[in-house]
Every structure is written in C-alpha cells, then in structure tokens.
C-alpha cells in the first residue's frame, strides 16, 4: 500500500522555515530585548500552529475535506498576520515596548483561538447531525428488509402484491423525518413487528388489515413530514 508522505514533507518545510527565520533573525537583529523575545515567541507559536495543522488532523477533518481546507485557511491567515506584525514589523522597530509586543501577540492568538473554537463547534454539530441522519436511513433500510422477510412467509398473491406496495411506500418515504413524528414512527415499527407475527402464523385476514393500517400510517407520516419542512 502506497503511503502519502505529503504531510511529512509539509511538516519538514515548516520546521525548516522556522529554523531559517530564527537564524536570520539572530544574525541581523540588534538589541534583542524582552519585547523582541515576546514577538519572537508568538511568531514561533504561529509556526507551531501551522505544524500542528499538518501533523494532527481530527476525524471530522478527514471525513469532511472542506472542513480541513477551512481549518488550514484559518491557520494560514493567523500565521501570515502574526509573521508580518510580530515576525517582521516588531523586529524592525528598535524601541518596541514590551506591553505593545505582548498585547499584539496575545490579541492575534486570542482571536485565532476563539474563531477555531467556534469553527470546531460548528464542525462537531454538522458531524453529529450526519451521524443521526445516517442512523435514521439505516433504520428505514432495516424496516424495508423486514418487509422483504415478511413476504417470504406469505403465499397468497394478493397479499404479496400489497406487501410489495407497502415496501415501496416505505422505501421512498423521507428517511429523516422529524422529532415531532417520533410517536408515529414508533407506531409504524410496532405494526411491522405485529405484521411479521401475523405472517408467521399465516393469519391472512389480519395481514391484510395490518398492511392497510401501515399504509395509512405511512401516508400520514409523509404528509406531516412535508408540512413540518415547509
């Protein structure tokens, strides 16, 4: 299996850039005072932010490439602003005060952290909703499979046709539904369970009545689902 080393090379490039920057800075910067050290420290933090973004990806970023791209963009913006203000401008000012260097670096880092936290919260919310939707789709597929199983217990042609219609109605109904329809959906699942029991017992009259009831319940669910989404 071929491995992707792009992340490793990007990490080396970031470390190399940080080393070159440090060498040039210490070679040409005169009067390296406390303010300079503070500005330098925040610039190194910006390098570390870039490095962390390359080396450590969350599961949501791997599953959602657009989130990965957005997170990388945020890190790059923070790095560029910090590098320009702290890595270049601050080092070029001979009498930069310690307070100014600290406040600028802290402000940039704080803004970045707040934006990232908000972004992560939104990402988690989207991922959580996708997980819920996935479970709902799977539940519906299981119900459709249950109808297929029930059909194997039924020999009468007319009932098999009604089961086929019921299966299609269930298959093409909205799988996501709404929280307000939870009771109705539970009634549908319960009636499918009863339908299987009646099919196993060969109670054709009850099967026909149960199918009609399920069709009405599904029609009611679909109608209410459309109304709630308007």
Check whether 59 has a pLDDT greater than 60. Answer: no
Instruction: Compare 68 and 113 and report the one with higher pLDDT.
Output: 113
pLDDT at 1: 41
Mean pLDDT over residues 176-205, rounded?
85
Distance CA 68, CA 60 (A): 8
Retrieve residue 44's tokens.
């190194």
Q: Which stretch, 38-47, 70-79, 114-123, has highest mean pLDDT? A: 38-47
Q: Where are the alpha helices (DSSP H) in the chain?
A: 6-28, 34-55, 59-63, 65-82, 90-92, 98-151, 157-171, 182-201, 204-228
Distance CA 191, CA 204 (A): 15
Query: Do the beta carbons of residue 44 and residue 105 sit within 8 Å?
Result: no
Query: Do the beta carbons of residue 74 and residue 119 sit within 8 Å?
Result: yes
Distance CA 167, CA 183 (A): 20
Phi-psi region of 23 (alpha: psi -120 to 50; beta: other; left: phi over 0): alpha
pLDDT at 2: 44
Number of CB atoms found within 10 A of residue 210's CB: 22
Instruction: Compare 168 and 92 and report the one with higher pLDDT.
Output: 168
Query: What tens digit of pLDDT does each residue of 84-130 get?
Result: 888 787 777 877 788 888 898 899 999 988 888 887 777 766 666 66
Distance CA 167, CA 169 (A): 5
pTM of model > 0.85: no
Q: Where are the alpha helices (DSSP H) in 83-97?
A: 90-92
């Amino acid at each position: 299996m071929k491995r992707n080393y792009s992340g490793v090379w990007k990490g080396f490039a970031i470390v190399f850039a940080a080393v070159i920057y440090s060498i040039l800075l210490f070679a040409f910067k005169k009067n390296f005072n406390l303010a300079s050290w503070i500005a330098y420290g925040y610039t190194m933090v910006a390098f570390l932010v870039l490095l962390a973004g390359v080396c450590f990806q969350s599961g949501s970023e791997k599953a959602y490439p657009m989130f990965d791209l957005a997170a990388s963009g945020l890190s790059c913006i923070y790095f560029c602003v910090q590098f320009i203000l702290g890595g270049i401008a601050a080092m070029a000012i001979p009498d930069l005060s310690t307070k100014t260097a600290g406040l600028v670096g802290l402000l940039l880092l704080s803004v970045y952290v707040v934006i990232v936290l908000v972004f992560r919260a939104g990402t988690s919310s989207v991922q959580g909703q996708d997980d819920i939707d996935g479970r709902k789709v799977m539940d519906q597929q299981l119900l459709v499979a249950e109808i297929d199983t029930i059909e194997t217990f039924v020999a009468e042609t007319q009932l098999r046709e009604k089961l086929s219609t019921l299966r299609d109605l269930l298959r093409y109904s909205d799988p996501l539904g709404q929280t307000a329809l939870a009771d109705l959906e539970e009634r549908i699942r319960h009636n499918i369970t009863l339908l299987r029991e009646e099919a196993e017992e060969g109670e054709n009259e009850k099967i026909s009545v149960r199918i009609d009831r399920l069709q009405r319940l599904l029609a009611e669910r679909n109608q209410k689902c459309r109304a709630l989404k308007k």
